[in-house]
Amino acid sequence: MSQFEFTLKHRDAATSARRGVFLTPHGPVQTPGFMPVGTQGTVKGLTIDQVAATGAHMILGNTYHLALRPGHETVRKLGGLHGMSGWQGPILTDSGGFQIFSLKDISKITEQEAIFRSHIDGAIIRLTPEHSIEIQEALGSDVAMVLDHVIALPATHDEVEDAMARSIRWAKRCLEASTRDDQAKFAIVQGGLDTELRVQCARDLAAMDFHGYAVGGLSVGEAPSEMYRITAATCPSLPEHKPRYLMGVGRPVDLLESVARGIDLFDCVMPTRNGRNGLAFTDSGNLKLRNAIHREDNRPIEEDCSCLACQHSRGYIRHLFVAGEMLGPILLSIHNLTYYQRLMSEARFAIESDRFDDFMTEKKRGWDDGEKDSPSN
């Protein structure tokens, strides 16, 4: 019997939203769910206990960065990512494919491999699909992503099709290189903003019977409406009984819009990166805690939030940022991750209650009203 199982518990009556549970060797992941990003084996600025207290079920690490520092063999000797970091829940590792996109000025793609220069010391790195899996098996994550070819948009149809076809061939090589039965493999659907290529890629990958499927190459500068269009076109071609993961997304509204189109899992640096820069997510829109309007505000960020940050006043948190104290970014990172987890928990309940569309409308109204009232100072 497989150590991985996805149970689809309920489908929303009015949308394509799904309520499920993904079982892994390190515990269950409730879906729809959001994964905090721990690129370097840590969710930036937070202890593992603090991450767990936000309600997170699963976190993400990055193959490229961990292979460079401290090195995947070092991670293996430290007990894998679980032993090294102390996180005992499920972990997903990205394959390094996104670095093909983000480090395009220092990378080259051939059919055999991606060739990088390390952003740390300039050393040449050769990342094949097989080596990506070897690294991730050393890291010991519960889910390993296949190595894919992500290209910048806009691009010509031929360029997008070439990268998509290469992603399919690389996915097959990743599957063939796999040796660990206790590590799931997720394929990644590419195809740019071309619905026909996306559907073709999804169907070809579905035929390989991976444990799960991701939609990649989005949230890289295209309009949100384009992301929603591609997600809606892709999901029906993915297996019903496997989890679906939209990579690198995103804003709270993007999460709900994508859940409505059939996505189960998300990751993004947005809650922690924005937290470090003084922005808090709330049901009433975004709060810029550096703004002078919060200087003498005794209210918490959100009245009904039980996170560590909301035990303090907005005025105190603003003071921490103005004073350059590290506690400010820590507290807002905790709040934002807690907010994302609460949003996903509420989404799961709304799906079970067949009222996800109403739930999404209510949330969007609150965010829109908050943006209208947001101070400019």
Catalytic residues: 94, 267
Strand order, beta sheet including 33-36 = 33-36, 265-268, 244-246, 212-215, 184-189, 143-145, 91-94, 59-62
CA 329 to chain centre: 20
Secondary structure of 49-74 in HEC code, one letter for each residue = HHHHHCCCCCEEEEHHHHHHCCCHHH
User: How deeply is 322 buried, as exposed, middle or buried, from its count of CB atoms within 10 A (0-12, 13-18, 19+)?
Assistant: middle
Burial 234-243 (b: 16+ CB within 10 A, else e): bbebbbeebb
CA dist 154 and 289 (Å) reads 36
CA 223 to chain centre: 18
At 295, list the tokens: 């200087």
Q: What is the DSSP string of 16-56?
A: S-EEEEEEETTEEEEESEEEEB-TTSS-TT--HHHHHHTT-
CA 70 to chain centre: 23
Closest of 232, 204, 203, 230 to residue 217, by C-alpha: 230
Spell out the residues 6+ positions from residue 18 whose beta carbon is closer than 8 angstroms to its own: 8, 10, 11, 12, 31, 32, 259, 262, 264, 351
CA dist 246 and 259 (Å) reads 10
